[in-house]
């Protein structure tokens, strides 16, 4: 046998058999009621903050008129073609420029 094989067999024989680790007590490893309540509070706070931020952004855009500058052609009639909607939008833009 080669020296490598002998070393491998010797290391394999010298290792201790795996022992079963005791299962830890559930009271020590689970978050419990307090952990659940803290997690719930963090989730609720995140939802509230997201809603407040969205409302603030909406107000800022409305105040700055950004909503009007990014208008997409809206079809008044569902049977209306995209070209007709774009033509109506262009006409509205021309009217606004003429008024200015």
C-alpha dihedral, 34 to 35 to 40 to 43, nearest 10°: 140
Q: Is residue 16 part of a domain?
A: no
**What is the reported pLDDT for 76?**
62
6-45 burial by CB neighbour count: b if 16+ within 10 A, else e? eeeeeeeeeeeeeeeeeeeeeeeeeeeeeeeeeeeeeeee
Q: Is residue 5 part of a domain?
A: no
**What is the reported pLDDT for 21?**
80
- Measuring CA to CA, which residue among 64, 63, 83 is closest to residue 75? 83
Instruction: Specify whether the CB–CB gap between 46 and 34 falls below 8 A.
Output: no
* 7-51 tens-digit pLDDT: 888 777 777 777 788 887 877 788 889 999 999 999 999 999 999
Our count of domains for the chain comes to 1
Q: Which pair of structure tokens corresponds to residue 88?
A: 């109506």
> Which residues span the domain enclosing 73?
31-99
On the question of pLDDT at 54 being above 90, the answer is yes
| Euclidean distance between CA atoms 60 and 29, whole angstroms | 47
- Measuring CA to CA, which residue among 77, 71, 76 is closest to residue 96? 71
Higher pLDDT, 95 or 45: 45
**What is the reported pLDDT for 70?**
54
Q: Is residue 89 part of a domain?
A: yes
**What is the reported pLDDT for 43?**
98
* 55-90 tens-digit pLDDT: 998 888 777 765 555 566 565 666 777 788 788 888
Q: Is residue 54 part of a domain?
A: yes
Q: Is residue 68 part of a domain?
A: yes
Q: Is residue 8 part of a domain?
A: no
């Amino acid at each position: 046998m080669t020296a490598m094989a002998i070393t491998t067999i010797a290391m394999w024989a010298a290792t201790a058999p795996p022992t079963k680790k005791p299962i830890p007590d559930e009271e020590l490893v689970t978050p419990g009621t307090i952990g659940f309540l803290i997690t719930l509070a963090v989730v609720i706070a995140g939802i509230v903050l997201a809603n407040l931020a969205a409302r603030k952004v909406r107000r800022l855009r409305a105040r700055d008129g950004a909503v009007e500058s990014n208008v997409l052609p809206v079809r008044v009639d569902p049977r209306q073609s995209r070209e007709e909607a774009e033509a109506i939008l262009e006409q509205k833009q021309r009217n606004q420029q003429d008024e200015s």
